[in-house]
Structure 1
């Protein structure tokens, strides 16, 4: 009798692990979304930043097993921010870049519905840097945005069949310069993804 009970327990555990993605899985898809950029600065007496919306569009892949996954992505993103100097001059900056997040995380759920959490580094390569200046109110300065930047993402997501919704915070690591002071660009992004291939 004990052997039968033990066998049933082992069998139940095996089924549970299988439903928790113990077998390797692979997905590839498209994603698009919006972001909201902000400046982090300890020099608030010198300048301040205003949030502006941008966009992202690209591709993603996901490799997973035993409830954990690795999710590399590549997307085109626009990061926009207004910077106001202490004299009142406004710099409107728009940076377009190729972003490559390398995310690690976990997943839970079953029957096509599940939640995810993940974190990982992001490397960003600037391909276009545009700035406009409003000097009517005072002196303005350029925001010196680096050609290559690093950040760290934290996020959560919801999967419904082949559709995923992601909400992330991206903390800027690379320092940018404005009026001789250093700042970092961080952002929130909300995206919608669709899995083209799911194995």
Structure 2
């Protein structure tokens, strides 16, 4: 009797596993980035600046859920308005890890919603041409920060289009008694092309 129960368990588990279909995608993407910063300094504010980025994305999906890690290089700009619009520009390697769901899904296209954290590793950070970031020496700029990402996207077979909002979770400045709290805020439009993909 125990053998029959054990056999039934394995047959049921195998059948359940066989019903789970996995899809995937691997591709390239380019981004247009609007950047500003929020600050707790009373007389300081920033205006939007334009930037761009490019990178890779991978997607694993099953049913209406998917998991999407990315790796990107981004060039971003904003302007400090209280000092005759000083240009603040920085480059970074960004690693978002997204969890999403399909609102609509068919063979020809789909509509998605997604959220997730993003790690940002600075490569340079300049204020009117002066580089404030030097990883070898003491710097007022952190080596990295983090953001929370939420957005929506559509897919047309090999083409993937996303619109996302990135809300900074940590200040770009190292914490001292005099350092202001300044976080990155971004709106990002991205277009991706799936080099490899398989529907689930």
TM bracket (short chain): 0.7 to 0.9
Q: Deviations over 1:48-71 (max 9, x none)?
A: 101100001000000011210000
Q: Deviations over 1:88-147 (max 9, x none)?
A: 4543111100000000011231022100110000001111222217xxxxxxxx794421
Query: 1:33 is matched with which residue?
Result: 31
Q: What are the equivalent positions in structure 2 for 1:146-165 lying under 5 Å apart?
A: 146-165=142-161
Q: What are the equivalent positions in structure 2 for 1:8-87 lying under 5 Å apart?
A: 23-43=21-41, 45-85=42-82
Q: Deviations over 1:171-196 (max 9, x none)?
A: 00111349842121110000100100
How many equivalent residue pairs? 169
Query: 2:114 is matched with which residue?
Result: 118
Query: 1:106 is matched with which residue?
Result: 101
The runs of 5 or more residues in structure 2 that have no matched partner are 1-18, 134-139
2:179 pairs with 1:184: no
Q: Compute the TM-score of the two structures, normalised by the length of structure 2.
A: 0.78
Quickly say closer, same or farther: Cα 1:145–1:82, change in 2 above 3 A.
farther
Identify, as 1 or 2, the structure richer in strand: 1
The runs of 5 or more residues in structure 1 that have no matched partner are 1-17, 134-141
State the SS of the aligned residue for 2:142: coil
Deviation larger for 67-76 or 106-115? 106-115
Query: 1:129 is matched with which residue?
Result: 125
